[in-house]
Structure 1
């Protein structure tokens, strides 16, 4: 027997730019992927959206003695979670992209290249997740550094949603928007997306958070809470802090 509507739980979603699992520069850089594995588990999110995730990097694997043998998305997935990864950028020594870790079954996934110029390879990951007896679309994004590029990339993202996702199916859009202003947030709101805004949740830079570059927007779900973990260990693992947001069903 299917659960009643009131039995649908809150959906807890985290988004985290993990900086490819490495912090620092040159010979002083340090491997943080093992700490990140514990951190992701501590977030206790139903859906974890990750950016700057390594599939492989031959130079780093040779440099760090304890570089994981698994791709980072699979390594970071807590027990029982499904890991979905798609590449955004191919580099000389490997590749990296977006990933989603889900406590709920993943029905399908696809990738869209939204690179705006040859100096930045960008994309978004679109997954369909079955939460109890409903389909929720989860899109993981990492937008560019150039303001005009971000505007065009948001337009492509919203056009994809309008064309490929039925209006009645809930949608979550999470990731690193790289936006220091409010312009992209207004565009998301105009398209029917909401996020928790009752208190500031700055995520960047991690050592002294000044602005919220990371967001979780929802359509067809109600934002009920959001928070950013604090403490020295979170400051060390990446240049971003994770954002954790909770959503309830509209009915």
Structure 2
């Protein structure tokens, strides 16, 4: 089975230019995909595109916002991905921390569309998906969630957990303690845990002991990657046939692994 994890960055690169990243991920033909920063909007609906490609599952919206897209690019800074509004966050458009360059960019590049920004876990295999609320850390603008799918892969059970982790400076050790406590309560069946963890492997290992990395490759930033902050971890009877990191647009590189589950 082929598993991919990739931060889609709402379909734009670091300069606000459309990337077509989701289409390139679909072309990889994954059986399971973990996709932080998915976007469901008025014109661009990544959830619908995934469903049409036979990848069905769950999208957990973390915030409502505005997707900004530049036709020409060329800006020297990364435009805000979303201006969070509603009960889960603040309105960054009015936030004092917005730089003068960001405000100018927003004035000269009209908002592409409004929509929802969140975490997707999709699969070609059948099985229910559960949303585990991890709560909001003190310095976070959005609540974090763990998506948990209990799949059946050719008659074999597999649990897949998807995560978009908080930054270390925002208190992620507390979040990972919650993740670990929950996953430790699950049964002995094989488990995959993947996503954008916003955490380097040496720091992650003591927070999630007992897990093996299925792909070891630098993922951030995509144009000149120097760190691995995206991960695909496992426990139980899972082995790797092949793995790689790919630059398919966005500001992260995608991780792709061809895995064998038990005797499958």
Q: Shorter-normalised TM-score: what interval?
A: 0.7 to 0.9
> TM-score, normalization: structure 1?
0.77
CA gap 1:107/1:76 in 2 versus in 1, 3 angstroms? closer
Distance in 1 of aligned mates of 2:123 and 2:156 = 15
**1:72 corresponds to 2:46:** yes
Aligned residues: 214
Superimposed CA distance per residue, residues 86-111 of structure 1 (whole angstroms, 9 cap, x where no aligned partner)? 12234225432110121111234223
8 Å contact from structure 2 (residues 245, 253) kept in 1: yes
**1:201 corresponds to 2:209:** no
Map of 2:229 onto structure 1: 213
Richer in helix (by share): 1
8 Å contact from structure 1 (residues 201, 226) kept in 2: no
Task: Return the match for 2:140 from 107, 113, 119.
Answer: 119
RMSD: 2.2
Give 1:85 deviation, angstroms: 0.7
8 Å contact from structure 1 (residues 147, 179) kept in 2: no
Distance in 2 of aligned mates of 1:55 and 1:79 = 16
SS of the aligned residue for 1:207 comes to helix
CA gap 1:77/1:210 in 2 versus in 1, 3 angstroms? farther
Superimposed CA distance per residue, residues 154-193 of structure 1 (whole angstroms, 9 cap, x where no aligned partner)? 1100111122x21x211110001111351212332x2x21
Give 1:135 deviation, angstroms: 2.0
Task: Return the match for 2:246 from 225, 229, 243.
Answer: 229
Distance in 1 of aligned mates of 2:201 and 2:189 = 29
**1:149 corresponds to 2:160:** no
8 Å contact from structure 1 (residues 12, 46) kept in 2: yes
Map of 1:16 onto structure 2: 6
Superimposed CA distance per residue, residues 68-123 of structure 1 (whole angstroms, 9 cap, x where no aligned partner)? 3xx32222345222131112234225432110121111234223233212533222
Moved more, 134-143 or 113-122: 113-122
**1:106 corresponds to 2:127:** yes
Superimposed CA distance per residue, residues 1-29 of structure 1 (whole angstroms, 9 cap, x where no aligned partner)? xxxxxxxxxx321000011112345xxx3
8 Å contact from structure 1 (residues 172, 216) kept in 2: yes
1:79-90 to 2 correspondences below 5 Å: 79-90=53-64
Distance in 1 of aligned mates of 2:261 and 2:165 = 28
Distance in 2 of aligned mates of 1:97 and 1:113 = 14
SS of the aligned residue for 1:84 comes to strand
Moved more, 177-186 or 130-139: 177-186
Moved more, 88-97 or 128-137: 88-97
Moved more, 41-50 or 111-120: 111-120
**1:30 corresponds to 2:17:** yes
> TM-score, normalization: structure 2?
0.73
Give 1:141 deviation, angstroms: 0.4
8 Å contact from structure 1 (residues 40, 76) kept in 2: no
8 Å contact from structure 1 (residues 74, 83) kept in 2: no
User: Unpaired segments of 5 or more residues in structure 1?
Assistant: 1-10, 62-66
Map of 2:75 onto structure 1: none
